Amino acid sequence: MQIVKHINELQAILDNKRQEGLSIGFVPTMGALHAGHLSLVEKAGQQSGFVVASIFVNPTQFNDKGDLERYPRDLQKDVDLLEPTSCQLIFAPEADEIYPEPDTRQFNFGNLEQVMEGKFRPGHFNGVAQVVSRLFEIVQPDKAFFGLKDFQQLAIINEMVRKLELPVEIVPCPIVRETDGLAMSSRNMLLSKEQRLNAVLISATLFEATNKTGELNVEELTYWVINRINENEYLNTEYFEIVNSMTLQPIKSWNDPCLKVGCIAVQCGKIRLIDNVKIDN
């Protein structure tokens, strides 16, 4: 497995792989890897001839400098985790390699970015679009693999690919969870022991909510989820929305003809956790 820090070296390697007839699978990450990331890499290995994973903590998608500073970084640990996987090359650039000049592009994703994460993290998705489009420009993958835990981000990336007419297939991959149900996240390692024990209430509440559509309407279920989580002294719900999976707009009724997803963000101390679950009715 190769570790590359510079674009010209990366592109020379990938050009050779393409000449060998290999397709390029790409897994962009911000490091602090866990089994969820590794599952994306394995999926890429199943569908691609050559797998690249990037490790880059992108400053432009953090609207909170404290959140950026707290984000865990351990490149050697990440390399060790990727070594036995399908990953064949790690691209680990510095910020000035990705942004030799400030990226001033402004993306407009309309209603997709006005709700949930976009509402509570202004500028976040513009930063995501900047870095993902830049990485796609550099790597030029045939397929790129993203986890469904970041449900709204996946919708934004799909829209960005459509708008920019990029020749890459976006492959969504299932949420990977801890044995107790908590969605795997790089931020989980920042939780204290007590916070970690209580954070499992987030996923447990979402799972229970999927069984209540017959007794509660959309508004009632929304309040039930928020109140149940907020009763825990370690947790504070930032939002819970039951949305149309395509438009990300809140639904009004179980009769709305769409796939419905319950999306949540919860503060656990200073750590912000997100999750989602499909809701059938």
**Which residues participate in catalysis according to the annotation?**
37
Tokens 């609207």 map to which residue? 63
Residue 277 bridge partners (DSSP): 262
Closest CA to 29 of 5, 1, 4, 54: 54
Structure tokens at 90: 């790690």
Q: Reduce the DSSP state of residue 184 to 3 states and report it.
A: coil
Residues 234 and 267: beta-carbon distance below 8 Å: no
Whole-angstrom distance, CA of residue 267 vs CA of residue 269 = 6
Whole-angstrom distance, CA of residue 121 vs CA of residue 110 = 15
Burial 65-104, CB ≥16 within 10 A → b, else e:
eeeeeebeeeeeebbebbeebbbbbbbbbeeebbbeeebe
Tokens 């449900």 map to which residue? 151
Tell me, what DSSP letter sits at residue 180? T
Contacts of 255 (CB under 8 A, 6+ apart): none
Whole-angstrom distance, CA of residue 59 vs CA of residue 103 = 11
Whole-angstrom distance, CA of residue 271 vs CA of residue 264 = 14
